[in-house]
Amino acid sequence: MARFDGKHFRGKIGNTSYRVCRNQQLVSGASTKTEFLRTEPMDRSSYLFGKVSTLNSYIRMYMSPLVDKFHDGEMLGRLNSSTNLAMNAVFNEEQLTFSFTPDTFNRLAGFEFNIKSRVADVFLAHLAVTYTEGNVSILIPELTISKQIEFPSASTKCRIIFSRTHLDLETGYGQDSELKYISVVKDKKLDLIPAQTVEFTTEPGCLCIIGIGFNFYKDSFIGEVMTNSKEFNPVAILSAHMTNGIHVLPVEGNWASMHNVKGTIATFKSSQ
């Protein structure tokens, strides 16, 4: 309770406290907390969001040879949204597991990492991605460079980069991306490039992501200088496919645990 000393109140009445500082009456109210109770649907939603965030952190990490830091500011939100929609469709809320199928992540195909320089605006050709047992092929049609590749000003050379990334969602291991290159030049004498195929091997029971990126170069007194930047860096996902089968982690090879980034995805279950 509060007491009055003839000039000031001291003490507490209800949620109000009275005290004196430097001969001044101070009055303060007790803080009130609203208890927030988590529900099961909220916990499941948080679980799903955690898995989505974790998976996307690995996708970005393994595609960093193409993307580097040259993505747009909204990239992470857009990637989370696309992956969340894909995974929510196969999420078992009762068992907290995922029943993946080969086309679960199809919606990631065509994802642009930098909407300021979209691959769709730079590369005016259609690529066909085909999966067979143990292999993925990217068919590149005949190209007319001057009409189908948009070079930025001052750039005279381009390196088209293809990447293949494996993510084992069952055991929580990822494999370093394998890269393959095609070099082209802005030259009327070399304007036509015949059709060709880029191939990668694939592992069973993994999320296989095929990426494409474009590095442009200009000539200078010190040699070739890359012109890509935060404002211009065309990189996209060509394909995201769950391969059939069960993955057996090799004793040797460039595989690494993915548990160190925002938790683990070792509880993911893929359908057979």
Q: Among residues of the chain, what percentage have pLDDT more than 90?
A: 59
Q: Where are the domains of the chain?
A: 1-32, 40-257
Q: Which residue has the higher pLDDT, 30 or 102?
A: 102
Task: Give the pLDDT confidence score for residue 269 in this predicted structure.
Answer: 47
Residue 55 near residue 83, CB atoms below 8 Å: yes
The pLDDT tens digits for 175-209 are: 999 999 999 999 999 999 999 999 999 999 999 99
Q: Which residue has the higher pLDDT, 251 or 168?
A: 168
Task: Give the pLDDT confidence score for residue 116 in this predicted structure.
Answer: 94
The pLDDT tens digits for 227-259 are: 999 999 999 999 999 999 888 877 667 888 886
Give me 175's structure tokens: 């494999």
CA–CA gap between residue 3 and residue 228 (Å, rounded): 73
CA–CA gap between residue 141 and residue 135 (Å, rounded): 19
For the CA atoms of 207, 246, 265, 76, the dihedral, rounded to the nearest 10 degrees, stands at: 0
Neighbours of 214 (CB within 10 A): 25
CA–CA gap between residue 232 and residue 227 (Å, rounded): 8
Mean pLDDT of 56-75: 91
Stated pTM of the model = 0.80
- Mean of pLDDT over the chain: 85
Query: Angle at CA 70, nearest 5°, toward 147 and 128?
Result: 45
Give me 213's structure tokens: 């990126």
Residue 266 clears pLDDT 60, i.e. is over it: no
The pLDDT tens digits for 97-146 are: 888 999 999 999 999 999 999 999 999 999 999 999 999 999 999 999 99
Residue 236 — φ and ψ, nearest 5°? Answer: -150, 165
Task: Give the pLDDT confidence score for residue 40 in this predicted structure.
Answer: 57
